[in-house]
Amino acid sequence: MTELHQQLQGLWLPLITPFRDGELDVASLRRLVRHYAGGPIDGLILGATSGEGMSLSMGELEGLVSVVLAELTANSRQLPICLGLSGPSTARMKETLDDTCDWPISGYLIASPYYTRPSQRGLLQHFNALADHAAAPIVLYNIPYRTAVNLTNETLLALAAHQNIVGMKDCCADRAQSIDFLARRPAGFRVLTGEDAQTFDALSDGADGAILLSAHLETKTFAAIRTLLHQGNRDAAQAAWRSVAGLTRLLFAEPSPAPAKHWLWRQGLIDSPEVRLPMIEVSEDLATWLDAEIERRATVLQPA
């Protein structure tokens, strides 16, 4: 069992990438890492969907990893880091694995090839080829509503047999498929949900944890939900979930991560809500709703 295999559970944060004036905002990035290093997170995903990874150059991606690791070290916090990757070409993905093979990361989160829509046999060969090639363990990312292909459970079970594939971020959006895989997965194969709005159900069904954009906010509450479920305190877990369930809808009311960036900007954790085209900042209407919810939560949480 690899180290990542053991670490792949609990609450992981798919960290947003702060920008300012078109450039990586290193000062805001350091501030973010300091903030979350003191919280109950179990790992970080860098440069994936929430981190706008497809808009980053390789140099920016390497800088992102370097800054995050340096800030974690400065704050005496050791966290596993997975690098988010995706691409429609197996050969080019292998080249990216080569380019990143000596980076100080724990593993890769790799989505299915987008746009090309390969068959299940093609997906099996693609991921096996990457797993054979990668210098670090791979976590599969099944998110068919973005990639246009679904990894079926039969394909997932075949891939789970590869010693360098240690788990999955599950965004299949089909609870029946997820429950079936959880029941049939090999021992030790980790499953983390990535469906923010379905977190409570997925954890109740047996997922090992969650990778949640929404956990940029109310991090302690999201972490507590899993802890309470593990303790058998379902009522308290459900109450905690009800307190944040609305956030998981609000933060995806427009394309992510723009709503989360707006919230973090209003909180002062990042200096700008900037995103990169084709992503755009939130609409005026959503900004008004977000600001109202920020104010409401601040008021509710103020001591009497």
Q: What is the CATH number of the domain that holds 167?
A: 3.20.20.70
Establish if 299 belongs to a structural domain: no
pLDDT at 300: 74
- Tell me, yes or no, whether 262 lies in a domain: no
Query: Is residue 106 a known part of a binding site?
Result: no
Contact 178, 150 (CB under 8 A): no
Specify whether the CB–CB gap between 123 and 112 falls below 8 A: yes
pLDDT of residue 5: 84
Nearest alpha-carbon partner for 30 in 269, 257, 242, 201: 269
Residues labelled as active-site residues: 141, 169
Consult the annotation and say whether 50 binds a ligand.
yes
Give the N- to C-terminal CA distance of the chain in Å, as an integer. 49
CA distance to 12, 136, 139, per residue, from 190 (Å): 13, 16, 9
- Residue 215 burial (CB < 10 Å; 0-12/13-18/19+)? buried
165 is a domain residue: yes
Instruction: State phi, psi for 164 to the nearest 5 degrees.
Output: -100, 5
User: Backbone phi, then psi, for 109, in 5-degree steps?
Assistant: -105, 115
Domain count within the chain: 1
Q: Is residue 136 part of a domain?
A: yes
- Residue 291 maps to a domain: no
Q: Which residue has the tokens 């973010």?
A: 32
pLDDT number for residue 182: 98
Q: The domain containing residue 114 runs over which residues? A: 3-243
Length of the chain in residues, anyone?
A: 304
The answer to whether residue 174 sits within a structural domain is yes
With respect to residue 236, please indicate whether it lies within any of the assigned structural domains. yes
pLDDT of residue 302: 52
Task: Confirm whether 259 is domain-assigned.
Answer: no
The low-confidence residues of the chain, meaning pLDDT below 50, are 303-304
Q: Radius of gyration of the chain from Cα atoms?
A: 19
- What confidence score (pLDDT) does residue 228 get? 97
pTM of the predicted model as reported, rounded to 2 decimal places: 0.96
